[in-house]
Structure 1
Amino acid sequence: MRAAPACPTLAGAMPPTRTPAPSSSGSFEYRLQRTPVGVVMLDLARRITAVNAVAGRLLRLKGTDPIGADILAFHPPASRAKVRWLIDAAENATDGTAGMVVTTPMGSLVAKVTTLGDQGFCMMFHALGELPMGDAEPAERPHLLKLPVLRGGATELVEIADIVCLTAQGHYAEALTRAGTHLCPLALAELEKRVDPLTFVRVHRRHLVNLRHVRAAERVDGRWTLALSAGQGARIPVGRDKVELVRRLLAV
């Protein structure tokens, strides 16, 4: 995940109102509105206390009054658990920060949250690939070079070639590598669009397998399974509608 710029509000006081200050260029509102990424300030109850224009565009706040509203109200239901987890992770992290990719049906946001002590939280984000939420996605999105995974309160990046299998886990995915399993904040449906279809194949509704890491294909009692090179010989079932595709790709 690309590093977010340092929050310009960490040393300043929380704004008393949402009205931009017309005075000096050193004022809170002046810096807030000129920050090049989306910034949302939250109180300890996670209600919005200030927001800049970039955040207003990304969250589609035009025509609404977000001040005093819960931040989760401006995220689709499918992504609210991730946003809640992100703020919780920052609150519990030793350095007071946490970041992740928040994926929604409308688009993906790279987000970072910093705790501000008894003043609340500073949330900063931008659209992944500069694609604003709500805009139509491009017909073809570039393949991922690295996979974001959650480890502790941080987001780490794993080489795509090291991914053995991706398994659906609710709105997330579990990534299996030879080093172990990791939780990925992206949904399996999103991952299927972002990996090389010549290497990764959806062999089952819950499993996306890297064929380069398949050790064996076996048929037992009429059902096909794939033995993988990691996870202590983990076996992945092949859906009945995927059997012919898998057999053709693996020449079995």
Structure 2
Amino acid sequence: MKASPDIVVSDPDPVGRAAAEPAAVSTRASAESFQHKLEQFNPGIVWLDAENRVTAMNDVAIQVLRPAAEPSLGVTLDAMFGVDVLSLHPPKSREKIAFLLGHRSSSPHGKSAPPQAMMINIPDRMLMIKVSQMVAAEGRVGSCMIFYDLTELTTAPRNGAGHEATGEGPMRLISRIPVYRHNRIVLVDVKDIGRLEGEGHYTTIVTQQDRYLSNLSLSVLESRLDPARFLRVHRSHIVNLDYVTELVRQDEGFLVALPEALGPAVPVSKQKLHALKERFGLV
């Protein structure tokens, strides 16, 4: 039996579960369905030597990495072996992969560090990657990289509007954002998200019930969210237009007001103001 992390769907109304038993049952059924699907997945496995060069891959890893590496990075299947694994990932993903690979254990007796997990966005795919150090008598001898392709669980085919198609078919839009919390994957339904706030390479996802930290950047999420529903109104902020309650003038600028549970009003940059007004028919 293949080991896999637990996966759950965020509950849109944790306080009212007792008063809405059918909804709670539906949420549990969805979580069980996702868990069942995940357990059926064959994980991609990549073996790395001590210098993080690829020494072997299973068929799943080849099937996922080759379509990403060959057309966009110019790396053929034959060239994948013996190269630094970072070269098989798009430049925007390399810093995160390097962080995973560079994780070191402070435990005594040469014990390996606990496996580290992270979500990675590669062209049209959404992967959860875990890296575990491999230790022999002489110390660390390499790493084992294991990933689960969550694309089918977290995305829907793009309808062709808003962005150009890339790759072999239309780019997929995110329908649920996977976040890793307490050794579980939580799928946050995008329709429950009121706003997203960028913090460097990370993004805080805000719903009316909770806040989640995603290691996917705001720019990555912007490219995968439905442009008919989400708008980047500021360098650090994306808002769900369905939750906007008011456009407020402040000094020389504007703020987007949202329900109180979603936090303070969000600033609107001058460059984005026209697009925001246009979306609400104000120009």
Q: Corresponding residue for 1:78? A: 92
- Equivalent runs, 1:52-131 vs 2, <5 Å: 52-57=58-63, 58-59=65-66, 60=69, 61-64=76-79, 66-67=81-82, 69-87=83-101, 96-104=114-122, 106-113=123-130, 115=132, 118=135, 120-125=142-147, 129=151
SS at match of 1:64: helix
Q: Corresponding residue for 1:166? A: 196
- Equivalent runs, 1:133-148 vs 2, <5 Å: 136=167, 138-141=169-172, 143-148=173-178
- Equivalent runs, 1:27-66 vs 2, <5 Å: 37-43=43-49, 46-57=52-63, 58-59=65-66, 60=69, 61-64=76-79, 66=81
* Separation (CA, whole Å) in 1 of partners of 2:90 and 2:248: 41
Q: Corresponding residue for 2:109? A: none
Q: Residue 114 of structure 1: CA displacement?
A: 5.4
Q: Which residue of 212, 216, 225 corresponds with 1:195? A: 225
SS at match of 1:63: helix
1:218 paired with 2:248, answer yes
* Separation (CA, whole Å) in 1 of partners of 2:135 and 2:251: 61
Q: Give structure 2 stretches of 5+ with no counterpart.
A: 5-40, 70-75, 107-111, 137-141, 153-165
* Separation (CA, whole Å) in 2 of partners of 1:66 and 1:171: 29
* Separation (CA, whole Å) in 2 of partners of 1:233 and 1:172: 18
Question: How much is the aligned-residue C-alpha RMSD, in angstroms?
Answer: 3.9
Q: Which amino acid aligns with 1:146?
A: R
1:208 paired with 2:222, answer no
CA deviation digits over 1:101-148, x for unaligned, max 9?
3124x4434133253652554323365647xxxx8153352x433212
Q: Which amino acid aligns with 2:215?
A: P
Task: Select the structure that is richer in helix.
Answer: 2
Q: Give structure 1 stretches of 5+ with no counterpart.
A: 8-34
Indicate if the aligned counterparts of 1:101 and 1:186 stay in contact, CA closer than 8 A: yes
* Separation (CA, whole Å) in 2 of partners of 1:162 and 1:210: 9
Indicate if the aligned counterparts of 2:118 and 2:130 stay in contact, CA closer than 8 A: no
Q: Residue 218 of structure 1: CA displacement?
A: 0.6
* Separation (CA, whole Å) in 1 of partners of 2:169 and 2:59: 24
Q: Residue 91 of structure 1: CA displacement?
A: 6.7
CA deviation digits over 1:2-44, x for unaligned, max 9?
xx9449xxxxxxxxxxxxxxxxxxxxxxxxxxx9553212346
Q: Residue 45 of structure 1: CA displacement?
A: 5.5
* Separation (CA, whole Å) in 2 of partners of 1:172 and 1:148: 13
* Separation (CA, whole Å) in 2 of partners of 1:85 and 1:231: 34
Q: Normalised by the size of structure 2, how large is the TM-score? A: 0.59
